[in-house]
Amino acid sequence: MGHAVTEFAPAKIAVLTVSDTRTEENDTSGKFLVDALVEAGHTLADKQIVIDDVYKIRAVVSQWIADENVQAVMITGGTGFTSRDSTPEALKPLFDKEVEGFGELFRAISFQEIGTSTIQSRAIAGFANHTVIFAMPGSTGACRTGWNGIIKQQLDASHRPCNFMPHLGN
């Protein structure tokens, strides 16, 4: 495929928790994502918590998309069907390209864990300004599913036959 990078290289990753109730003290999902990315050898670029509001979500993610010190964004929360869940609606207008397979694969893996309840997950991913953005449900289990089942491999330049690292900005 012509991509010369074959060894692991750390990515600069930002983590966003979307919640009306979570704080740094009780944000177990955001903490899991931070711990997982650091344990894998990546760099935490930033971490924030915002309420479930389309414009507040867009403001934070837009700032990270424009920041060359952020190559990837992981978001937890706001992907369900309550009136407050608005993460997909906040993100879709920002995407240059959507990664449809992320949501499909997330739900396929999640089906093995929680059965048909996975249809209530609107997990979504996309690219904006050479930054990959992954949005998962707010539960720590869902973050574990997304990280271990998909994201960890796709942010590893040694993962074959392909991964997202060649597509990310510096």
Residue span of the structural domain in which 139 resides: 12-167
CATH number for the domain spanning 110: value is: 3.40.980.10
Q: How far apart are CA 95 and CA 88, in angstroms?
A: 11
Does the pLDDT at position 2 exceed 80? no
In whole numbers, what is the pLDDT of the chain averaged over residues? 94
Q: How far apart are CA 18 and CA 56, in angstroms?
A: 9
Query: For residue 5, is it within any domain?
Result: no
Q: Put the strands of the sheet holding 12-18 in their side by side order.
A: 43-50, 12-18, 72-76, 131-136, 124-128, 97-98
- Using a 10 angstrom Cβ sphere, with 0-12 exposed, 13-18 middle and 19 or more buried, the burial of residue 111 is middle
Q: What is the mean pLDDT of residues 119-146?
A: 96
Number of domains in the chain: 1
- Using a 10 angstrom Cβ sphere, with 0-12 exposed, 13-18 middle and 19 or more buried, the burial of residue 81 is exposed
| 6-22 pLDDT, tens digit each | 788 899 999 999 999 99
Query: For residue 6, is it within any domain?
Result: no
Query: For residue 52, is it within any domain?
Result: yes
| 51-64 pLDDT, tens digit each | 999 999 999 999 99
Q: How far apart are CA 83 and CA 78, in angstroms?
A: 10
3-state DSSP call for residue 47?
A: strand
Residue 83: its pLDDT value, please? 86
Instruction: Indicate the range of 3-12, 71-80, 138-147 predicted with least confidence.
Output: 3-12
Query: For residue 144, is it within any domain?
Result: yes
Nearest 10 degrees: Cα torsion 132, 105, 9, 160: -130
Q: What is the mean pLDDT of residues 80-102?
A: 94
Residue 1: its pLDDT value, please? 46
Q: What is the mean pLDDT of residues 24-30?
A: 94
Query: For residue 107, is it within any domain?
Result: yes
Residue 6: its pLDDT value, please? 73
Does the pLDDT at position 5 exceed 80? no
* pTM, two decimal places: 0.94
Q: Which helix (H) or strand (E) holds 71?
A: none
Query: For residue 33, is it within any domain?
Result: yes
Query: For residue 4, is it within any domain?
Result: no
Query: For residue 84, is it within any domain?
Result: yes
Q: Are 72 and 170 in contact (CB under 8 A)?
A: no
